[in-house]
Structure 1
Amino acid sequence: MSQSITKTLTVNSFHQNKLNDHTSFSSSTMKNDTKTTPSQLQFFVRLMWTCKSLVIRASREDTVKSLLKAISFKTKIPIEYQRLIYRGKQLHSEQSLAECCIENDTCLQLIGHLRSMGFPMGCEALDDTVSLILRLCKGESVKDASRILHCRMMKYMEHKECVSVFMFMKVPLLMVTLYNSPYANNKGIADFCIRQLMIFCDHIETAQLQVIYFEVVLEFCELLRGVGFESNDLLYVVCRGSFGRMLESVGGVSDRDTKRRILFQGGFDCVVEISDKLLRFLDLSFGRMLESVGGVSDRDTSQALLCRDVHDFEKFSAPLRVGIAEHQGAFEVPVDCGFLCEKDSLIARVVDRFRLVFIQLLIKMDECLQSMEGCLVNKEQGEGGVSVIYYGWYYYLSILKELYHISKLYTGAEDKFWGVLLRRKSMLCHLIVKYTENTDDHRWVLKNRSVTDFESRRHLVMMLFFHELKDGLWDFHEMLIDRSQLLAESFEYISQAKPKSLQRGLFMEFKNEDATGPGVLREWFVLVCQEIFSPQNALFMACPNDRRRFFPNAASKIHPLHLEYFSFCGRIIALALRSKVHVGIVFDRVFHGQLAGEYITLEDIREADPIMYSSCKQILNMDADSIDSDTLGLTFATEVWELGRREVIELCLGGESRVVDSKNREEYVRLLIHNRFVTSISKQVSHFAKGFADILSGSSQEFFQSLELEELDWMLHGSENAISVEDWKAHTVYNGYKDIDRQISWFWEIVGRMSVEQRKVLLFFWTSVKHLPVEGFHGLDSRLHICRTSELDSHLPSSHTCFYELCFPPYSSLAIMQDRLRVITQEHIGCSFGTP
C-alpha cells in the first residue's frame, strides 16, 4: 500500500532557473497593454522557494486555473503541483478572480506542493538521482556512476507523476550541467544517461506519456543549445532527432498551451537553427568556400551533415507549417498575419520569422542554381574543376520541395517561388533528370508545367508512377505465345496475372522460336497493340482524320468479355510505357481527358467525331430566330444504332418532348457530348483505367493529369519524323568492320535509296523498334551495331535485336548486298527474323 507524501518542495539553489524579479505575462483573455482598466487587475505572485515575484495582469473574469496555466508555462512547474494562497486561503481553480475578491496591486503566494501519489519510491529515486548528480558535479568519484545514475533516473519514469517530478526537480538542467562539467568522466556519464532516456522516449506508445515526454525532450534540446554547444554536438543532435520524431504525433496533443510551446517555440527554434546551417552548406555546394575543403573524407563528412540537415529541415518544418495552417483555420490557405497578431503574439512572431526563413533560403537557392549553371558551362568548355562541387546538388530538390510547401502559407510567396524556378528552368530540369531516384517523391514539380521540359517531366513521371524493374529473370512473369493465337493467348497470360507479378517485369518467347529477351518483348508489344486496336476487334474506334488516334468504342459490348479486354488493354499500355516501347498508337483527346478526370468540351471532340463537332458548332452559331422557329426540329434526345436496331436515348428527363431553342441550345450540346463521349463509354474507360493502375505505383488519373496529350503521344507513338539516315549512321558502331570498308559504304548507300517503309522494316528487323523515340536514335538506350560474320555471300543478314546488332558477311558486290537487304525488308519477312 503506497504511502501519502505531502510536503512543500524546496529547490536547491545549485539548479534554480534564473527568474526575473518582475516578469509580465497575461492569460489568454488579456491585452498586451501596460495599463490596467476597471475590468483588469495587477497583482504579484511570490514564489515561496525563490523569494522572487512575478507581475500578473489579468481580467477579473479569468479563472484561477488560467493563472496557474500561465505560471506553469513560465516556471515549468506542473499545474497539479501549484497552489495559490491569498490571505491564508488556497484559491480554488474554478473560481474567477472576482469571486476570490482579489484586489488590485495585492500579493499572492505560490507554493509548490506534492499531492498524495501512488509512487513515493519514484520520488525517492529522483531525490537520490539529484544527490548523485550534485556529488559528481562537485568532483566526487563514484564507482559505476553511469549504471547507478541510469537505473535511478529511469526506474519509475513510465509513470507520468514521476515525470512531472523529474521536471519540477530540474533533473534535465542537472544532467546538462553534468555534461558540461570540467571533471573527468562526467561528460561520458551524462552522455550515456541522456542517450538512454532518448531511446526510451523514442519507444513510448502511450499517448498521455508522449505528451509529458514532449516537454522532457524539448527541455534537453533547449538546455544543450542554451549552454553554447554547436549544433553539430552529437548529444544535441540525438536529442533534437528524438524531438523531431515525436513531432509526428504533435497533432494528438490536446492541451493548447502545451501544443503551442512544443510546436511554435521548440519546433520553430529547430527550424531556424537548421536553416542557418543550410545557408552555410549551400554556399559550400556551389563552390564559394570549396577550395578550403581538404580531401575526399572532408567532403564525405560535409555531404553526410548536409543530408542530415536537409532531412531535419523537412522533419521540423512540416509539422510547423501544418500547425500554422490549422491555426489559420484552413489548410493551404495563405496566412493573414494581421489576424494572427491580434490573436496570439507568439504565433504571429513565428509566422513572420518563418516567412523570413523561406525568403532567405529561396534567395540562396536562386544563387545556387545560377552558379550551378555556370559550373556546367565550364564543364562543357573543358575547364574542369567541377566534380567536387556536385556533392551538394543532390539535395537541392529536397530543399525546393519544402520551400514549395511553405510558399503555400503566404500570400504571393508561391508566385515568387515559381518565378525563381522558371528563371532557372534549365537547371531544375537537369536536377530532375540527373539527381532524382525512385525513392524520391517530387510530385510538387508537376504542379507547374512551365518550369520543366518534356524530358524532365517524362523522367519524373516514369520514376514516380512505375515500379523499378529488378535485374534477373527468376521473378519475371513468363509467357509462351503462339503467333497464330497472339491476342487470345496474350489476354490469358496478362489478364489472369496478379498485378505484383506483372510489376516485376515480363519474360516471353514465341512458340517454336529460339529468340528471347528484350528484342522479342518489344516486338510482342507492337504486335499485340496492333491486334487490340484493330477495327476487327471493335474495342476501339479510330479518328476519321487521324487513324493513329483511338478512343473506346461504345459498341464494344458486342463482345461478351469486352470489359475484361479493356482492363487487359490498360495493363498492356502501362507495361509498354514502363518498358519504353513505342507501340505506334495514340489516344484521342476525349479518351485522354476522361482518363485524367477532365470535363469533355466541344473542342475536345473535333478529331473523334468531326461531323458532330460541325453540327454542334452550327447549332451554337445559328441565328436565334432561326433556331427558335424549330428549323432543325431538334429535341433533347438522340438516336443510336446498336446491334442492328435503332434506339432513342433521352438526354434528360422528358427530353424527347423538350424542343431545342436559343436559350437551351448550349445545354443541349453539352448533354449530347456527354452522352456520346462520356456516358456511353464510361465502363470501358473505367476498366481501362483499372488495368492501367494495376501496373502503377500511384493512381492512373494522377498519371494522365501529369502529362499533356502531346507528351503522351511522344511516349506511346514516338517520333513522327521520317528516319534520318545521317542520324542512323551517327549512332552506329562497327564490330569487325571499319567505317571506311566498302561493305559499310555500300550498306549506307543502299539504305539511303530505300523507301520510308523499307527503312522502318529494316530498323524493326535490326532492333525490334517499330517507332523511334521523339529524340530519334539518340533516345534509344544503346547504340546500334553492325557486325561482320564469316558466312558466304549466299547468307542473308541476321540480327540480335536485344543488342541492336545487324550481322552480315563481307558481300563481294553492292548488287549482292542490295539483293540480300531487299529480302529482309519485305514486311512479311522483316518481323521476327532476328535472334535475341
Structure 2
Amino acid sequence: MSVIDTPAVHHRSGGATDHRHPSKRKFDDEDDEDFSDLVCVRMRKDEAKAVNSWSASSSSSSSDAGGCSSLQQQQRSHIQFFVRMMSAGNTIVMQAFPEDTVKSIHERIQSMKGIPLFEQRLIYRGKQLQWEQTLAECFIQNDANLQLVGRMRSTEHPQAWQVINDMVSLVYRLCRGETVHDALKTVKGLMTSYLNMTPRIDNDSASGYFQIFMSSSAPAVLVMLYVSPYAGNKDCADSSVRHFLSSCRNILSKALHGQCARVVLEFCKLLRRVGSHDPLYLFCRSTFGSLLETAGVSYGSGSDNVKGLVLIQDIFPFVCELANSLLRDLDLSIVSPSAAGPLSNDVGDFSAFLLPLRTGIKEQQAVKDSMAQDKHHKLTEEIEYLHGLYVQLLNKIDQCLQKMDQSLAGQEMMEGDNLYPAWSHYLSILKELYQISKLYDGAEEKLWGVLTRQRSVLCLLIVRYAKRTDEHQWILEHRYVTNFESRRHLAMMMFPEVKEDYEELHEMLIDRSQLLTESFEYIARAEPDSLHAGLFMEFKNEEATGPGVLREWFLLVCQAIFNPQNALFVACPNDRRRFFPNPASKVHPLHLEYFSFAGRVIALALMHRVQVGIVFDRVFFLQLAGNYIAIEDIRDADPYLYTSCKQILDMDADFIDSDSLGLTFVREVEELGQRKVVELCPGGKNLVVNSFADILSNSKLQQYFFQSLDLEDLDWMLHGSEDTISVEDWKAHTEYNGYKETDIQISWFWEIVGRMTADQRKVLLFFWTSVKYLPVEGFRGLASRLYIYRSLEPGDRLPSSHTCFFRLCFPAYSSMAVMKDRLEVITQEHIGCSFGTW
C-alpha cells in the first residue's frame, strides 16, 4: 500500500466567514469540534482527576472483570470505526475497546497491512492522534472515520515530524502527571532543533514545517500542559511557549513571519479561553501583533488563502478587544493620570493589529469599482466598525487633552519636570487616529480640528515624547498645529543622537592658520558613520580640549566657509547675515566638494546644537526644500533682478508677447570681473520670453528636513537669538563657587557687565562659554547653567575660563576699577575669541 506525503488538514479559521457584528464576535473556534474533541483546555482540576481515575479503572478492569462497575462495563463495550487508506483509496474496519491506546491500533495496522510503525500517522478531525492516548481520550466513537497517512520517511520532512512527535509525547507524559528529568530543557531543545530545520528564506518550503507543528497538535498540548493541575507543569509550559515564540522571531527571517503568525494565532485562540488577562495570552497576543507588521495578510474568504497567511477575520477580534481596553484605559487616565495602567502595551499592540486591518480596507477600497471586488470578501462590517471606533477614540483623546491642558494651566513646564505617565502614550494614539482618518471622507478635518484646539498640549507632547524611532511626518502635514520648539524637536530627531563614547570619537587636530583646509580634510573625507559618534577637537600647540573648543571650532569654520573671499557663498545685499551659493563658485577647483563639506558642517552644528551666526537666504532655503519660488522670495537675494522682473510682470501681457523688449531666457553674470551670458534653460538664448509666469522647482531637491521647518525656524536653530543679551537673564542662570551672590565682587561684576556694549557682552560670553550666539530661548536654552568661581590667584591676574563647563574664574579684586580694567582686556575681540580656553 502506498501512502501520501502531506495530509489535508481542516482549519475552521479558513472556512466560511462569520457574519455576526464584529464587535460581538467571539474568538474563532470557541466551539471548534477539532479542539474540544481532542483536548479541552478549559479542563478543570476535577475533570483532569476524573480522566486519570477513569484511565486507571479502565486498565484494572482487564484483570478484574468481576469487579467492574456499570461505567467500566460500558467502557469494555467494543466500538467500531473506519480507517481510510487515503492514497490506496480503500478502507479497513476495526474494532477496539475505548481504553485501548492509539499505539495498539498502529500495531494492529502493521500486522494487517505490513506498514511499519514509524511510517504510520492517524488523523482524526484534523489532528494527529498520539500513541499515549486512549481511544476514549481521543473521543473516538462508533462509526468514527480515521485517516491513515504517511509519516517519518514517507513524509516530506521526516526529521521534523520525529522531533515534534518526541516533544508532543513528552508533553503528554507531563500532562498525565509523570515526572520527567530535565523536562523543560528537553522541550526547549526539541523546539530549537525543529526551528533550526526550518528553511530560513523559502516561504513555500517553510509552510510544510509549520503545518507539521499545527497538525501534530503541539499548540494544543502545550496549552493543556499550561492548565494542567500538576506542580511545575504551568511554569514549564509558560517557559516553553515563550521560548518557541521568541526563537521564531530571532531565528527565522522576516519573510517567514507570515507562516509563524499562523502558529502564534493558534496559541492566542487557545489561551484566550484561559483568560483575556492571562500573562501568557498577553505575551502571545503581543508577539502575534509584532509579527503582523511583516506578515502577509489576506482579506479573502479563506478559500483563496492557499499560502496559509493570516486573514483579516483572524485579526479583527483582537482589534475589538484592544480597542475596548484602550477606551477604558483612556477613561482611567482622565480620572487618574498618574497611573499609566496597561496603556503602553495596549497602544503598541493596537498599532500592530491596526496596520494589516487598514491595509486590507485600503486594498478593498482600491478595487471597489472594479470586477475584482466580486472575488474578495466585502469588509463592510469591519469598515463600519473601524469608523465608529475612530469617532469614539477621537472624542476620548480630545477629552484627555482637555484634561491635560487643565492640569497644566498656569504652569511653565521646564525640561526636567515630570509629567504623568499616561500622557506619554497620547501621541501614539493620535498617530493611529491620523492613519485611520485617511480611510474616511471628512475624518481628517475632524482630527486637525481637535489638534488645532489642543495646540499647546500637542506641542508639549511632541517635545517630551517624540522619539527618533517614531515617524513624525504626519504631524508636519499641518504645521500650524505646532510651534517652533516642537518643529525643532521633530527636525532634530532626524539627526543621529550624539554618542559620548570617547573610543569612537572622530578626532581632529587642526592648525589655526590652516583652519579651512585642514577642517575640510577631516570632515569631507570622513565616512558618515564616523561623524555620528561625536567630535573631539584640538588646536595644534594648544592644551585646551573639550566641548568648549569644539564650539569655538564650529564658529570659526563657519565664518571661513561663508567668507565671501572663499567664493563659495554670497551675502544678500539687503541682509548680510543671509547667504546663498555663489554663481561663480566654480573658480574654486573643489567647489562642489566644498559645498558638500559645508553641508556636513552645518548638519554637525545643528546636531551638536551650536548656533554659528549664519542663516540661509530664502530662495536657497526654498530650493533645498523643493518648494515653489515666488518673485517676492528673491527680493533680498537679488534686489536688481527682483525690481527688473517686477517691472516686466507689471507690464501688459500683449506688449511682452510682441517681443518689443527682446527678452530671451539668458542671464548675464560676473565671474572674476568679466561678464558672462548663461542660458537659463537649453536653447534659452533663442527662446523668447512670453507672459507665462509659472516656474516649477526640481522635485529632486526636496528634502524632508527643510520641508519640516519654516525659514525662521532654521534661522533660530543656526543663528540663535536676535535679542540683545539680557543681563538679568544672564544673572538668573549663573551660580557661584567660592563667592556668594551678596559678595561685593559679584555686585561689581554685574554692574560692569550691565554697562558693556552689546558686542562686549558677546565677547565676554564667548570667552566664558565658547557660545557667541545664544539659543532663541536665551540662557535657559544652553546645555548647562553658568558658574563664577573664585580663584586663589593674585588680585591683579586676568580672569580665566573653563568653556567646557561654562566656568568663569577671577580673584577677589580689590576694587571695581581693577575688575573693570581686567574685564576690558578680555572683552577685546581679538583676545576673547582666541584665548585658548578649555
Q: TM-score, normalised by structure 2?
A: 0.72
Q: Cα distance, 1:349 vs. partner?
A: 1.3
| Partner of residue 789, structure 2 | 787
- Which AA in structure 2 matches 1:418? W
1:272-671 to 2 correspondences below 5 Å: 272-288=320-336, 305-329=342-366, 347-377=379-409, 390-462=420-492, 464-628=493-657, 630-652=659-681, 654-660=683-689, 664-667=690-693, 670=695
What do the CA deviations read for 1:784-814 (whole angstroms, capped 9, x no partner)?
Answer: 2222233344322222222222222222233
The 8 Å contact of residues 478 and 507 in structure 1, kept in 2 or not, is answered as yes
| Partner of residue 706, structure 1 | 708
| Partner of residue 223, structure 1 | 270
| Partner of residue 827, structure 1 | 829
The 8 Å contact of residues 731 and 784 in structure 1, kept in 2 or not, is answered as yes
Q: Cα distance, 1:317 vs. partner?
A: 1.6
- Which AA in structure 1 matches 2:692? E
Hey, what's the Cα distance between the residues in 2 that align with 1:468 and 1:572?
16
- Which AA in structure 1 matches 2:266? E
Number of residue-to-residue matches in the alignment: 705
The 8 Å contact of residues 434 and 447 in structure 2, kept in 1 or not, is answered as yes
Q: Cα distance, 1:515 vs. partner?
A: 1.9
After TM superposition, the structure 1 stretch with the greater mean CA deviation from structure 2, 477-486 or 177-186, is 177-186
The alpha-carbon distance between structure 1 residues 736 and 624, as it changes in their structure 2 partners (threshold 3 A), is same
The 8 Å contact of residues 258 and 296 in structure 2, kept in 1 or not, is answered as no
1:760-775 to 2 correspondences below 5 Å: 760-775=762-777
Q: What's the secondary structure of 1:239's corresponding residue?
A: helix
Q: What's the secondary structure of 1:666's corresponding residue?
A: coil
The alpha-carbon distance between structure 1 residues 342 and 506, as it changes in their structure 2 partners (threshold 3 A), is same
Question: Is 1:262 aligned to 2:299, yes or no?
Answer: no
The 8 Å contact of residues 274 and 309 in structure 1, kept in 2 or not, is answered as yes
| Partner of residue 736, structure 1 | 738
Hey, what's the Cα distance between the residues in 2 that align with 1:209 and 1:381?
47
The 8 Å contact of residues 468 and 494 in structure 2, kept in 1 or not, is answered as no
Q: Cα distance, 1:371 vs. partner?
A: 2.2
After TM superposition, the structure 1 stretch with the greater mean CA deviation from structure 2, 621-630 or 509-518, is 621-630
The alpha-carbon distance between structure 1 residues 170 and 564, as it changes in their structure 2 partners (threshold 3 A), is closer
The 8 Å contact of residues 714 and 774 in structure 1, kept in 2 or not, is answered as yes
Hey, what's the Cα distance between the residues in 1 that align with 2:248 and 2:636?
63
For structure 1, the residue ranges without an aligned partner over 5 or more in a row are 28-46, 51-79, 85-109, 291-298, 331-335, 690-699
The alpha-carbon distance between structure 1 residues 342 and 747, as it changes in their structure 2 partners (threshold 3 A), is same
The 8 Å contact of residues 283 and 289 in structure 1, kept in 2 or not, is answered as no
| Partner of residue 756, structure 1 | 758
Hey, what's the Cα distance between the residues in 1 that align with 2:168 and 2:769?
78
Hey, what's the Cα distance between the residues in 1 that align with 2:720 and 2:404?
32
Hey, what's the Cα distance between the residues in 1 that align with 2:459 and 2:190?
57
| Partner of residue 239, structure 1 | 284
- Which AA in structure 1 matches 2:282? V
The 8 Å contact of residues 207 and 259 in structure 2, kept in 1 or not, is answered as yes
The alpha-carbon distance between structure 1 residues 216 and 112, as it changes in their structure 2 partners (threshold 3 A), is farther
- Which AA in structure 2 matches 1:222? K
Q: Cα distance, 1:325 vs. partner?
A: 1.8
Q: TM-score, normalised by structure 1?
A: 0.73
The 8 Å contact of residues 8 and 114 in structure 1, kept in 2 or not, is answered as no
The alpha-carbon distance between structure 1 residues 616 and 441, as it changes in their structure 2 partners (threshold 3 A), is same
What do the CA deviations read for 1:567-608 (whole angstroms, capped 9, x no partner)?
Answer: 111111111111211111100011111211223332221111
The 8 Å contact of residues 6 and 113 in structure 1, kept in 2 or not, is answered as no
Hey, what's the Cα distance between the residues in 1 that align with 2:655 and 2:255?
75
| Partner of residue 250, structure 1 | 295
Taking only the aligned residue pairs, the percentage that are identical comes to: 55
- Which AA in structure 2 matches 1:478? E
After TM superposition, the structure 1 stretch with the greater mean CA deviation from structure 2, 449-458 or 426-435, is 426-435
Q: What's the secondary structure of 1:465's corresponding residue?
A: coil
Hey, what's the Cα distance between the residues in 2 that align with 1:447 and 1:7?
53
1:183-202 to 2 correspondences below 5 Å: 198=245, 202=249
| Partner of residue 93, structure 1 | none
Hey, what's the Cα distance between the residues in 2 that align with 1:601 and 1:445?
26
Q: What's the secondary structure of 1:665's corresponding residue?
A: coil
The 8 Å contact of residues 257 and 292 in structure 2, kept in 1 or not, is answered as no
For structure 2, the residue ranges without an aligned partner over 5 or more in a row are 20-33, 38-84, 90-143, 199-205
- Which AA in structure 2 matches 1:307? S
After TM superposition, the structure 1 stretch with the greater mean CA deviation from structure 2, 267-276 or 651-660, is 651-660
The 8 Å contact of residues 201 and 242 in structure 1, kept in 2 or not, is answered as no
Q: What's the secondary structure of 2:667's corresponding residue?
A: strand
| Partner of residue 726, structure 1 | 728
Hey, what's the Cα distance between the residues in 1 that align with 2:413 and 2:245?
52
Hey, what's the Cα distance between the residues in 2 that align with 1:721 and 1:167?
70
What do the CA deviations read for 1:268-313 (whole angstroms, capped 9, x no partner)?
Answer: 21122122222233333344496xxxxxxxx7xx75x433322222
The alpha-carbon distance between structure 1 residues 112 and 397, as it changes in their structure 2 partners (threshold 3 A), is farther
Hey, what's the Cα distance between the residues in 2 that align with 1:162 and 1:542?
68
Q: What's the secondary structure of 2:460's corresponding residue?
A: helix
The 8 Å contact of residues 217 and 239 in structure 1, kept in 2 or not, is answered as yes
Hey, what's the Cα distance between the residues in 1 that align with 2:834 and 2:193?
75
The alpha-carbon distance between structure 1 residues 472 and 245, as it changes in their structure 2 partners (threshold 3 A), is closer
The 8 Å contact of residues 179 and 186 in structure 1, kept in 2 or not, is answered as yes
Q: Cα distance, 1:119 vs. partner?
A: 3.9
Q: Cα distance, 1:180 vs. partner?
A: 4.7
The 8 Å contact of residues 533 and 539 in structure 1, kept in 2 or not, is answered as yes
| Partner of residue 804, structure 2 | 802
- Which AA in structure 1 matches 2:591? H
- Which AA in structure 2 matches 1:666? F
Name the Cα RMSD after superposition: 4.7
The 8 Å contact of residues 341 and 348 in structure 1, kept in 2 or not, is answered as no
Q: What's the secondary structure of 2:703's corresponding residue?
A: helix
Hey, what's the Cα distance between the residues in 1 that align with 2:88 and 2:289?
34
